[in-house]
Structure 1
Amino acid sequence: MSDPAEHFILALSCPNRPGIVAAVSTFLFEKGCNILEAQQYDDQESGRFFTRIVFNVVQGQATIEAIRAGFAAIADTFSFTWTLRSKAEKRRVLLLASKFDHCLADLLYRWRIGEIPMEVTGIISNHPRETYAHLDFDGVPFHHLPVTKDSKMAQEAKIWEIFQSTNTELAVLARYMQVLSDDLSAKVSGKCINIHHSFLPGFKGAKPYHQAHARGVKLMGATAHYVTSDLDEGPIIEQDVERISHQDSADDMVRKGRDIERRVLARALSWHLQDRVLLAGGRTVVFRD
């Protein structure tokens, strides 16, 4: 018998119609699988169905390859957009950062203690290694790729080369303060998460917390979203807020903002790696744990 301790994650979306759940559950049953978790959502606006299922094999010798091959016929019948993988598989993630290192440091710490299981394929920054002298990269390759207006295309070509050559599955802009070109944004569409230091689309550009302070806001927040060619307007994965008052200075807001950014980005990355985030056009369906 296959090892029942190995769990698999099936995530899919498709045009909604009767029989989807029955077809999927019957298939898994016939393969000797037991469903451990199941979440689903019927989006009545778009007419699409979304589900995430965690299962294991309790009878027979079905492998993930055999399950994937057999499931393809059902996927074709229902026009599934789907993924199937072992829960133990660690996804390959490339981290990008600039001068502010709080998100980078937080993700490296969560990775090191096993809170976010992943394979870190590299760290890219437009600042030199000395900027992060206090951080332990634990053997992760570091790439210093400075960028100017004249060198931007060449610099982005190198980023894409690193992404491809390391078999990276996801890039994370951990306060990487460079706007990606339309070309690179298109290449990493659905495969790149950004953290924005406000509730989108408010307070874009430079010094967002100073902008918020000048407006006298009472709630401040951060937004993690997928990167698209529309600046800071990709599908939102997660947001969080912190209540503030007139007593908070701009520096107080920066400090509190860093805390929000860290936790929002960490949650978004973790959910993506667990196949909890399914794209629904310009929005996302997030099956939280």
Structure 2
Amino acid sequence: MNTKKALYLLGAMDLLLVIMHFTDYFFLFLKPTGYIFPLIVNFLVLAAVAYRSTQLRKRLSIVGMIVILPALLFHSFMVMLWDYGYTKIDSPWNKQSIMIEYRLFSLGESTYQYHFYKTRFGIVGKLLDDQSIIMVIQGTEHPGLEAEEILGVDRAEWVTENTMRFPAWKGMKEVHLGGSESARGEKKNIEETEEEILEEIEVFIEKVENQEDGHTIFVNGNQLATRYDEAADESWIEVTSEGEQGSIPRQQCTRIVPDEERGYYMLEECTHRWEYPLFPLESS
């Protein structure tokens, strides 16, 4: 009877995990190790059943163990290969939180991949499968930052109850936790904000060309200010950020130019390196 109970409980656990997987729900504490722990539980329970059971049930349990062991080894290898990192950000609005799953892989260029899970109590999370973000950074552009810094996790903010904004290396990124209707409305507001930033950048470029001093704008956590030394007849752009937390380090640059090929406004001829991507040419 105890053997039957163990098999029933094991079957219920496996069925629950399968249903959750296909509905994009996950136990968040299992994410760092994938399904290694449930596979180990399956293997151990079947081993115990094989040891205590009749001949037929023992044979079936051994077959199950033979199937599970290679699956366990393969899955363990894949978890190590994926090498995901995790961080969680709580919402100030309620008990809602967002968990970020991220990793970096390089093949001549650095690719940063981010998945987001909506969770209310930190135990079960729902994958926001249409909110994933991928950023590809060429070797010549790479700022030498970690994956969390590329996304701007430490400077992320909740702009609404269901929207989180990340000042990412390649422009502002938004993650919407609400329904599709709410997401569409919030996306429209974001696009309007981005349009305003694009207009400010164009005005700023004009100020730089006219050698006007003291005009400032804020882009992705960076403050850009026009500077002009009348005695030396020299102008430049001063880049700073509060607490040195901006996506571009404190330095001086010469100009901002639109790069149609890359699709970005680029800060050029800077102190630390030649150029930095500043903001996308078009709103998202």
More strand by share: 2
More helix by share: 2
Give the alignment's TM-score, normalised by structure 2.
Answer: 0.23
Q: Which has the higher contact order (CA 8 A, sep 6+)?
A: 1
Q: Which has the larger radius of gyration?
A: 2
Give the alignment's TM-score, normalised by structure 1.
Answer: 0.23
